[in-house]
Amino acid sequence: MQSTELSPEEVKELWIEYSRDKDNIDIRNQLVEHYLPLVNIIAGRLAISLPSHVDTDDLKVSGYFGLMDAVSRYDYNRGNKFETYAGIRISGAMKDDLRARDWISVSLRQKIKKYESTIITLEGDLGRTPTDEELADALEVTMDQLHALEQQVSASTIIPLGEYIKFETASSAVNDPTKSLETVEMKETLAKAIDQLSEKERLVIALYYHEELTMKEISQVLHLSEARICQLHTKAVFKLRGFLANEALDL
């Protein structure tokens, strides 16, 4: 299906009409076709860190249904940006599909859990970010094995950081001061978590999630190998997970 070229005014008019008549399948389909490029973009970004046997076309199919769901559920009258809302729905549908396929083996899941818990434990004991040597020693693996493991688990760390601040919470904050305060607090917590990262890890997180560069593009910007960028990304996300989990426990 090809996307339809519509002007901003035409898109606005379609949303207005659709908000009045949610049963109008023709208008819904026009909107879905217009936003189809979102599915391709998100599938491409997600596929970068997935195993080669995962079919990108399969991701696009699940993403297409996520887009349809986003169009159907989106409340135009709230004034929130549709692309933000749809991005969460599309990526969520793709990840649900991946989980259903269970492409991560049981042994890899165990390795991921051990890797994550080891990083959290070392940071708590050392009061700082562990070095590669310290991490390898704690995991009882060689440096080469550590780097191979980090490349393996990198695929499991594709977590758009914005998902920690749910769209529904942000959108409902308009008419609810309490929700607005919660959103601010969550953003502050995430900012504190990012501050705990090393300079290179912060750069990778910023370039990947904010600037939306690919791992390859980041490697060119930082003049590091793509494998090293994947390692930095993996460590950064697990550190953020651990920090946010500890903050939640403290609360």
Tell me how far apart the alpha carbons of residues 170 and 163 are, in angstroms, rounded to a whole number. 11
145-176: pLDDT as tens digits = 888 777 766 655 554 444 443 333 334 444 44
Spatial separation of the C-alpha atoms in residues 154 and 161, rounded to whole Å: 15
- Give the whole-angstrom CA distance, residue 48 versus residue 102: 18
Give the C-alpha distances (Å, rounded to integers) separating 102 from 51, 98, 142, 246: 12, 6, 28, 28
User: For residue 123, is pLDDT > 80?
Assistant: no
Third-level CATH fold of 8-101: Rna Polymerase Sigma Factor; Chain: A (1.10.1740)
Q: Which of 35-49, 92-106, 151-165 has the highest mean pLDDT?
A: 35-49
Q: Is 129 left (phi over 0), alpha (psi -120 to 50) or beta?
A: beta
3-state secondary structure of 74: coil
Judged against a pLDDT cut of 60, whether residue 177 lies above it is answered with no
pLDDT higher at 48 or 12: 12
Question: What is the rounded distance in angstroms from the CA atom of residue 65 to the CA atom of residue 90?
Answer: 8
Instruction: Please report, for the chain, the start and end positions of each structural domain, with discontinuous segments joined by +.
Output: 8-101, 106-250
What is the per-residue pLDDT across 44-57, written as a single tens digit (0 to 9) for each? 877 765 665 667 78
| Contact predicate 169/179, CB 8 Å | yes
Fold of 106-250: Arc Repressor Mutant, subunit A (1.10.10)
Highest mean pLDDT among 83-92, 112-121, 123-132, 172-181: 83-92
- Contact between 236 and 199 under an 8 Å Cβ cutoff? The reply is no
* Least confident stretch, 154-163, 182-191, 216-225: 154-163
The whole-number pLDDT of residue 31 equals 92
